[in-house]
């Protein structure tokens, strides 16, 4: 990379370190800066000092012999960090050309994107115990080291790691789960499947209609208290995630998430949730997926971030003592009339390919809708699982960008008020029996420790397809939609084997797909010809 230069009259100067550049920008000699630093330390009661010869070595980035510098004394490092407002690692690093920072929140204003980045960097400095501004320098340097090409290469390697490999690696790491718990396993159309979702027999096949009397997840106003300082492993992981987000323009917005504190699953959904800032999840627990993919791709077993954040089966199940964010996702089945080319009446089954602009499960197949469980404007009412599913139908399939909190502020007092609904949603809710929304299962995903509510959304009235089928379109979170028929005659078993055998499926997506197919086979009547899905909970 070309080294930047600064014009000084008619000459050009190449800087060896950021420290040398910053002293030059102050228009001071080394002697003058050393005197200034002495006065600064005295006035600010800093014990550190830096002499001229020591300063010259630091500015050069190497000893006169060409050997690397010895570690800087902590008191000297603190003094220089206070003077310049950036970390010592940045000051002693090489000068880089400015990095163009793309908007982190795609589709929003640059002010919103900059605000999210500022929030993230402030969080990083605070949680790592760094001098303010240190995180910005580290993230910028890391983004320059990685480069867009390097990140794309890394993502390509990650995409080659299949779902089964991830599940196997996690089974090896955690070993047997507590009695009564196990990993979700299934056999469908002759295809054996194991996922990373930990569940219980009583958490499956719920057929729980998400109505007011059976959807009883409650919000409690419990303040989230962050854990100890990140430490080197945690801080390095957060820097890497932010550098990737900046370089690739991945959307990240510091919106609140629900945090699961307790759950009871039965004839109704009961549980309690608090809140946690999205940044606390994205820069801690959500790092575990990337670390796992990199380790499997490289054939190594060391997982230092997992050792830090989710080290045992007991920690997975101890919800109140960790950040347990979650998702709500569902298989969507839309009734269609018969067609002379396709055959008789069926259901269109929707599958999405997650885009590279989403934070998790990017590039993998998943059911749609799929969303984080999070509040919009009413933190108590929005805690219901069904509220998230209906919101995501509007956002991900019916084109309502005003309920997409990642691309702008939500200004409406009641975003999901019936008067604001899309035309498809107004039609679906105008008469009972047109729309069925159920929870089909619950589990805890070992990939990042997330909770997963699996669901089934069935549009029962085929008139919907005639009126609105052409308006069903995925939003930015998907790079494409795939459509499958529930009624494919002799080919249906082969079709389901292909679906289940796709290593590109996310673990939670496959969990929701299989649970949805089981339930649809029970209620679909003549519209479905689906093979049996046999389920077990194993070690």
* Structural domains of the chain in order of their starting residue, each with its CATH number: 18-92 (no CATH), 158-538 (3.90.79.10)
Render 56-108 in DSSP notation, one character per residue.
HHHHHTB-TTSPBPPPPPHHHHHHHHHHHSS-HHHHTSPP-PPPP---SSTTS
**Contact predicate 121/256, CB 8 Å:** no
Residue 405 structure tokens: 């909190």
Query: Which one-letter DSSP state was computed for residue 469?
Result: G
User: How much is the pLDDT for 103?
Assistant: 37
3-state per-residue secondary structure call for 216-229: EEEECCCCCCCCCC
Cα 52 to Cα 375: distance, rounded to the nearest angstrom: 56
> Do you know the residue count of the chain?
539
Beta-carbon-side half-sphere exposure of residue 41 (alpha carbons within 13 Å)? 19
For β-strands 256-265 and 215-219, DSSP reports them as unpaired
For β-strands 326-336 and 451-459, DSSP reports them as parallel
**Contact predicate 258/319, CB 8 Å:** no
User: How much is the pLDDT for 539?
Assistant: 67
Residue 91 structure tokens: 């000051």
3-state per-residue secondary structure call for 484-504: EECCCHHHHHHHHHHHHHCCC
**Contact predicate 203/265, CB 8 Å:** yes
186: left (phi over 0), alpha (psi -120 to 50) or beta: beta
Cα 151 to Cα 248: distance, rounded to the nearest angstrom: 8
Residue 453 structure tokens: 């509510």
For β-strands 269-277 and 215-219, DSSP reports them as parallel
Cα 54 to Cα 73: distance, rounded to the nearest angstrom: 11
Cα 27 to Cα 41: distance, rounded to the nearest angstrom: 20
Residue 379 structure tokens: 């933190």
Alpha-carbon distances, residue 33 vs 73, 83, 84, 85, 463 (angstroms): 18, 11, 12, 16, 78
Render 137-173 in DSSP notation, one character per residue.
HHHHHHHHHHHHHHHHHHHHHHHTS-HHHHHHHHHHH
Render 327-393 in DSSP notation, one character per residue.
EEEEEEEEEE--BTTTBSSEEEEEEEEE-TTSSSSTTSEEESSEEE---SS-TTGGGSHHHHHHHHI
Handedness of CA 282, 283, 286, 290 (dihedral sign): positive
User: How much is the pLDDT for 81?
Assistant: 78
User: How much is the pLDDT for 368?
Assistant: 87
10 Å CB burial of residue 373 (0-12, 13-18, 19+) is buried
**Contact predicate 230/279, CB 8 Å:** no
User: How much is the pLDDT for 406?
Assistant: 62
User: How much is the pLDDT for 450?
Assistant: 96
Cα 474 to Cα 62: distance, rounded to the nearest angstrom: 54
User: How much is the pLDDT for 73?
Assistant: 87
Q: Which residues of the chain have pLDDT under 70?
A: 1-13, 85-86, 96-114, 251, 354-364, 405-410, 474-479, 489-502, 504, 539
Cα 158 to Cα 161: distance, rounded to the nearest angstrom: 6
Alpha-carbon distances, residue 289 vs 204, 271, 310, 531 (angstroms): 25, 26, 12, 32
Cα 363 to Cα 367: distance, rounded to the nearest angstrom: 13
Full-prediction pTM beyond 0.85? no
Q: By C-alpha distance, which of 256, 254, 255 is closest to 222?
A: 256
Cα 355 to Cα 70: distance, rounded to the nearest angstrom: 45
**Contact predicate 325/465, CB 8 Å:** no
Q: Helices (DSSP H) in 175-301: which residue ranges?
A: 231-248, 278-282, 287-298
What is the Rg, in whole angstroms, of the alpha carbon atoms belonging to the chain?
27
């Amino acid at each position: 990379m070309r080294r930047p230069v600064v014009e000084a009259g008619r000459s050009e100067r190449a800087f060896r370190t950021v420290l040398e550049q910053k002293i030059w920008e102050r228009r001071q000699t080394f002697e003058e800066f050393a005197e200034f630093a002495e006065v600064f330390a005295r006035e600010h009661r800093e014990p550190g000092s830096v002499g001229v010869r020591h300063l010259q070595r630091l500015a050069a980035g190497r000893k006169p012999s060409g050997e690397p510098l010895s570690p800087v004394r902590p008191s000297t490092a603190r003094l220089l960090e206070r003077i310049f407002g950036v970390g010592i690692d940045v000051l002693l690093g090489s000068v880089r050309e400015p990095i163009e920072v793309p908007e982190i929140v795609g589709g929003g204003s640059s002010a919103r994107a900059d605000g999210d980045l500022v929030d993230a960097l402030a969080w990083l400095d605070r949680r790592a115990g760094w001098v303010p501004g240190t995180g910005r320098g580290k993230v910028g340097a890391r983004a320059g080291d990685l480069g867009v090409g390097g990140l794309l290469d890394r993502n390509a390697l990650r995409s080659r790691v299949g779902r089964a490999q991830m599940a196997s690696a996690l089974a090896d790491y955690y070993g047997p789960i507590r009695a009564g718990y196990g990993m979700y396993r299934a056999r469908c159309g002759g295809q054996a499947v194991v996922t990373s979702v930990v569940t219980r027999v009583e958490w499956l096949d719920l057929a729980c209609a998400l109505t007011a009397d059976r959807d009883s997840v409650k919000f409690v106003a419990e303040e989230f208290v962050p854990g100890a300082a990140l430490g080197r492993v945690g801080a390095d992981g957060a820097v890497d995630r932010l550098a990737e987000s900046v370089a690739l323009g991945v959307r990240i917005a510091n919106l609140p998430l629900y945090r699961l504190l307790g759950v009871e699953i039965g004839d109704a959904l009961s549980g309690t949730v608090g809140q946690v800032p999205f940044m606390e999840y994205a820069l801690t627990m959500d790092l575990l997926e990337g670390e796992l993919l990199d380790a499997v791709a490289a054939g190594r077993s060391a997982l230092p971030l997992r050792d830090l954040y989710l080290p045992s089966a007991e920690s997975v199940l101890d919800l109140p003592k960790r950040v347990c964010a979650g998702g709500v996702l569902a298989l969507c089945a839309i009734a269609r009339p018969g067609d002379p080319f396709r055959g008789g009446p069926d259901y269109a089954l929707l599958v999405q390919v997650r885009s590279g602009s989403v934070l998790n499960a990017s590039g993998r197949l998943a059911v749609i809708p799929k969303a984080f469980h999070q509040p919009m404007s009413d933190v108590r009412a929005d805690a219901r699982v069904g509220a998230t599913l209906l919101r995501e139908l509007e956002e991900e399939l019916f084109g309502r960008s005003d309920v997409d909190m990642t691309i702008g502020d939500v200004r409406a007092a009641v975003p999901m008020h019936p008067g604001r609904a899309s035309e498809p949603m107004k039609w679906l809710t105008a008469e009972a029996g047109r729309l069925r929304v159920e929870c089909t299962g619950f589990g805890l995903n070992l990939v990042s420790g997330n909770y997963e509510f699996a669901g089934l959304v069935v549009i029962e009235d085929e008139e919907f397809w005639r009126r609105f089928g052409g308006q069903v379109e995925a939003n930015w979170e998907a790079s494409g939609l795939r459509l499958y028929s529930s009624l494919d005659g002799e080919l249906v078993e082969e079709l389901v084997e292909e679906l289940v055998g796709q290593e590109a499926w996310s673990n939670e997506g496959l969990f929701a797909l299989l649970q949805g197919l089981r339930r649809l086979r029970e209620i679909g009547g003549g519209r479905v010809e689906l093979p049996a899905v046999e389920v077990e909970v194993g070690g």
